Structure 1
Amino acid sequence: MNRFRTAVALALTLTLVSASFAQDSPPSVDAMVDRAVVFLETSRDEQGAFSPHLSPAITGLVATGLLKHGRSVNDPLVADAVKYVAGFAKPDGGIYSDGSKHGNYETCIAVQCLKAAATAPGAKEDYAELLDKAEKYLKGIQWDDEEGHGLESTSYGGAGYGSHSRPDLSNTSFLLDTLHALGRDGDDPAVQKALIFVSRTQNLESEYNTTEFAAKVNDGGFYYTPAAGGTSQAGQDDSGGLRSYGSMTYAGLKSMIYAGVDADDPRVKAAMSWLRKHYTLVENPGMGTSGLYYYYHTFAKALDATGQDTFTDADGAEHDWRAELVAKLAEDQQPTGAWVNTNERWLEADPNLSTAYVLLALSYCK
């Protein structure tokens, strides 16, 4: 009976929120988040987890997104999720699922979640010990001399899933996001090592990048990894160069900014030039709809990090990127309040994951 009453109440709430939403022009971020919350209330399990069969990281992403929108840390929707994430802490300091091959990724998401919870208004737990141990764990698995990869190695400074025998820009970006959340800046040795790897994932021949791929494409964009023979999810060109694509270029730009690289640096200028030529919210440039909601998240986080309220594309058109992103995400929100990618690649067909990415993206649009 209680479950029935809860379902009826949630349905009524969604109806009222949807009616209010329909009258908004343009839609407000708060209205979109309210609709998403109604969906999330129905999609968690008895422990408060979201898609636990996939990874505890999805629960961490959802909780972080809700906290960034001012949801109380003591709200059961958030509190249960945070407790669930914290429950995966391991003796080695990592925070990941049993038998996981994604220790860096899951721990990075968990640290950002717990840090957001610890600093939220009304927080009763600082998670200081867990965060300290997790930071040591993440720095310990960063690819460097301890893993047999010195400065000359294309793996040096990077972070990977753990299931592959090489690091990649996506995981390194998550590592830098996490260190940034913990207050670490460009003076931190782990940040400096990560910057070396990030610079080598850019299609830009320079003193910072003398890898075999640097001059082949040389368009200033970023790709997945130069390590272990090199990989771009966007494929190779005829020269064997690794094609740049949108989500990794925004991730690369953001990572450089978090590592203390300034706007006049040639690496930043080249990245911005590529992004101006490929400014769009219709797709993940170079990847179509693959990783689209991950793209929206990195797009928003990177442009927010630049401090620019508008973005001028290569044709000279000025974009209010926040308003444009909000409008696009409002258009894509499902009647349930969720977001979902019809392209199943990288798990974005899971509405909890795509909704989490959108909540995080919208947090930079207020």
Structure 2
Amino acid sequence: MIMNILLTTALLAAPPEAETLSSPSSVEAQRADIVKKGLTFLRDKGQDADGAISPRVGSGVTSLAITAGLRNGLKLNDPLVTRGLKYLESKIQTDGGIYASDRLRNYETCVAIMALAEANRVAGDGRYDTALKNAERFVRGLQIGAGDGIDKADPHFGGVGYSGKERPDLSNTAFLIEALHAVDTPSNDVALQRALLFVSRCQNLEGEGNDTQFADKVNDGGFYYVIPTEKVDPSTSERYTPNGGLRSYGSMTYAGFKSLVYSGLTKDDPRAKAALKWISQHYSVSKNPGQGRAGLFYYYNTLGSALEASGLDVITTPDGEQTWRTDLVQQLAKSQRPDGSWVNENRQWFENDPRLCTAFALLSLAHAKGESK
């Protein structure tokens, strides 16, 4: 059981877009209906004969889709799952990683771990135990600070990038944390605690683990994607503030917040409180706060996974109580296309691919099912 680190009195400012709350049964019926349509799209139109889904961007989308299918109730003998698992099995490498692209080794292996762990849970027979053990060892070895002589003073310590020990980022580090969580790694594990230091350095929060030059420049409790090591020129990118700080945004804040939960922080930790304050001021299901519609479906998944993990069902706002599950289900019901897919008109991060967006949407809808665990 993940400790509920959320204050039930936290003020999460819901926008006017939030619709009138529906009964739990009607929301669940709506959720189940759009999930069925989304899974049908992936099964009938999104998957290649060899089981791959969007292989042009690697094996990651296949893993996301399998995990989404299993978490939404598909059985192992469903063609979407059977074909997808066979494809993933073909991507198991001699080094233990599970990837199609060498430059995406960490990301692809981490999401494959989630898929195979979910398949193990459904099967109940440990069929992927060996593959999971080897994949876990592989991603642990990619983390900066693991056997490479880099110590805690380095701002990149504990992080990981797309392929490993190059420039680390919060997204890949959060995937590493979630993959380790999927195989029941305790929160005091050394790899998780190393990752927690990197995550803390990606938070705009002075004096609470962030000892970089950026800690106090924004100081709003949100999270950012990377820790620059070069001098920042605010005129070169919108992600910088005029004083040389790094802007917080929604998907990274939820990814960071979820990582805090999986790393064992309690509701009283200042980092958790600060993240909640940021969330309270930027809650939305129509945009990725700070990014507009860029990365919107990735955002939906991070929002759903973070809030489910932290145990919050009802959000108390200045305007009354809001149920994030209802908001998310109704928003995705409105944006689903007639063929059952979702797509983002903003093509950044490949979200013009309906297969990727549909996998993310279905993952977020799995988090929106029922009550928190």
* TM-score between both structures, scaled by the size of structure 2: 0.87
Using a 3 Å threshold, how does the CA distance of structure 1 residues 30 and 242 change in structure 2: closer, same or farther?
same
Looking at structure 1, the residues matched to 238 and 186 of structure 2 have their Cα atoms a distance apart, in angstroms, of 31
Using a 3 Å threshold, how does the CA distance of structure 1 residues 207 and 53 change in structure 2: closer, same or farther?
closer
* 2:340 aligns with one of 332, 337, 344: 337
Looking at structure 2, the residues matched to 67 and 230 of structure 1 have their Cα atoms a distance apart, in angstroms, of 45
Deviations 1:124-177 (A, max 9, x none): 662111111111111101011633421001100011112883100000100011
Partner of 1:253: 257
Question: How far is the alpha carbon of 1:364 from its aligned partner?
Answer: 1.1
* 1:269 aligns with one of 269, 273, 281: 273
Checking the alignment, whether the CA contact within 8 Å between 1:64 and 1:360 is kept in structure 2 is: yes
Partner of 2:226: 225
Report the AA paired with residue 255 of structure 1: S
Looking at structure 2, the residues matched to 60 and 234 of structure 1 have their Cα atoms a distance apart, in angstroms, of 32
* TM-score between both structures, scaled by the size of structure 1: 0.89
* 1:46 aligns with one of 44, 49, 65: 49
Partner of 1:292: 296
Partner of 1:100: 102
Partner of 1:216: 217
Using a 3 Å threshold, how does the CA distance of structure 1 residues 302 and 234 change in structure 2: closer, same or farther?
farther
Report the AA paired with residue 346 of structure 2: N
Checking the alignment, whether the CA contact within 8 Å between 1:86 and 1:114 is kept in structure 2 is: no
1:278 maps onto 2:282 in alignment? yes
Question: How far is the alpha carbon of 1:37 from its aligned partner?
Answer: 2.0
Deviations 1:233-283 (A, max 9, x none): 860001000000000001111000000001110000000000000011110
Unaligned segments of structure 1, at least 5 residues: 1-23
Partner of 2:309: 305
Looking at structure 2, the residues matched to 352 and 254 of structure 1 have their Cα atoms a distance apart, in angstroms, of 25
Looking at structure 2, the residues matched to 201 and 261 of structure 1 have their Cα atoms a distance apart, in angstroms, of 16
Matches within 5 A, 1:174-193: 174-193=175-194
Partner secondary structure for residue 50 of structure 2? coil
Looking at structure 2, the residues matched to 282 and 304 of structure 1 have their Cα atoms a distance apart, in angstroms, of 19
Partner secondary structure for residue 31 of structure 1? helix
Partner of 2:78: 75
Partner of 1:327: 330
Runs (4+) off by over 4 Å: 24-27, 122-125, 230-234
Deviations 1:268-326 (A, max 9, x none): 0000000000011110000000000000000011111121111234x354211000100
Using a 3 Å threshold, how does the CA distance of structure 1 residues 230 and 352 change in structure 2: closer, same or farther?
farther
Looking at structure 1, the residues matched to 321 and 221 of structure 2 have their Cα atoms a distance apart, in angstroms, of 21
Partner secondary structure for residue 335 of structure 1? coil
Using a 3 Å threshold, how does the CA distance of structure 1 residues 118 and 145 change in structure 2: closer, same or farther?
closer
Using a 3 Å threshold, how does the CA distance of structure 1 residues 187 and 346 change in structure 2: closer, same or farther?
same
Partner of 1:12: none
Matches within 5 A, 1:118-157: 118-120=120-122, 122=123, 126-144=127-145, 146-157=147-158
Partner of 2:60: 57
Matches within 5 A, 1:164-183: 165-183=166-184
Alpha-carbon RMSD across the aligned residues, in angstroms, is 1.9
Q: Which protein, 1 or 2, shows the higher relative CO under an 8 Å CA cutoff with sep ≥ 6?
A: 2
Looking at structure 2, the residues matched to 152 and 83 of structure 1 have their Cα atoms a distance apart, in angstroms, of 43
Checking the alignment, whether the CA contact within 8 Å between 1:73 and 1:123 is kept in structure 2 is: no
Partner secondary structure for residue 214 of structure 1? coil
Report the AA paired with residue 349 of structure 1: N
Deviations 1:64-120 (A, max 9, x none): 1000011001112111101111211111111111x5201100000111101111110
Checking the alignment, whether the CA contact within 8 Å between 1:219 and 1:270 is kept in structure 2 is: yes
* 1:110 aligns with one of 100, 109, 112: 112
Looking at structure 2, the residues matched to 125 and 103 of structure 1 have their Cα atoms a distance apart, in angstroms, of 24
Looking at structure 2, the residues matched to 297 and 234 of structure 1 have their Cα atoms a distance apart, in angstroms, of 24
Deviations 1:182-210 (A, max 9, x none): 00122110000000000000000114111
Looking at structure 1, the residues matched to 215 and 185 of structure 2 have their Cα atoms a distance apart, in angstroms, of 29
Report the AA paired with residue 131 of structure 2: L
Checking the alignment, whether the CA contact within 8 Å between 1:169 and 1:224 is kept in structure 2 is: yes
Partner secondary structure for residue 147 of structure 2? helix
Checking the alignment, whether the CA contact within 8 Å between 1:220 and 1:273 is kept in structure 2 is: yes
Q: Which moved more, 1:140-149 or 1:301-310?
A: 140-149
Partner secondary structure for residue 49 of structure 1? coil
Q: Which moved more, 1:287-296 or 1:28-37?
A: 28-37
